[in-house]
């Protein structure tokens, strides 16, 4: 399978714990995006990488969130000291970066904070 893959698919954690999600984009895509989707809403942009450089972060991304993309390949999204409001689907997408090319999404990681 050469699509975008995310791991884990589901994560249940206690409030206050740290969690880390992984995204493996399509190999030739240099652009990688993280989105968050809450119930009944469309995905909202969190952060963007071009190769290994994190070039933009949404104001939705509080200082408890950090993302990395070492070597411009896979990416990780870490949430520290999780809160119940962090419960959401976290989607990763990659693209070739042109205006007319679609972004390919992974199946997402559904986070539940209890």
Residue numbers at the binding site for other proteins (CB under 8 A): 31, 33, 40-45, 48, 50, 55-56, 89, 91, 93, 95, 97-100, 102-108, 110
- 39 vs 63, beta carbon nearer other proteins: 39
- 79 vs 92, beta carbon nearer other proteins: 92
SS3 string of the chain? Answer: CCCCEEECCEEEECCCCCEEEEEECCCCCCEEEEEEECCCCCCEEEEEEECCEEEEECCCCCCCEEEECHHHCCEEEEECCCCHHHCEEEEEEEECCCCCCCCEECCCEEEEEC
- 56 vs 78, beta carbon nearer other proteins: 56
Q: How far is the CB of 80 from other proteins (least distance, A)?
A: 24
């Amino acid at each position: 399978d050469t699509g975008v893959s995310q791991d884990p698919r589901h994560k249940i954690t206690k409030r206050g714990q740290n969690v880390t999600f992984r995204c493996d984009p399509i190999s030739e895509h240099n652009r990688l995006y993280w989105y968050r989707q809450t119930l009944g809403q469309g995905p909202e942009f969190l952060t963007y990488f071009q190769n290994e450089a994190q070039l933009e972060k949404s104001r939705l991304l509080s200082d408890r969130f950090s993302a990395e993309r070492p070597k411009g390949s896979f990416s990780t999204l870490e949430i520290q000291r999780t809160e119940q409001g962090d419960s959401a689907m976290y989607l990763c997408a990659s693209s070739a970066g042109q205006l007319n090319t679609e972004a390919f999404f992974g199946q997402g990681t559904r986070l539940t904070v209890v």
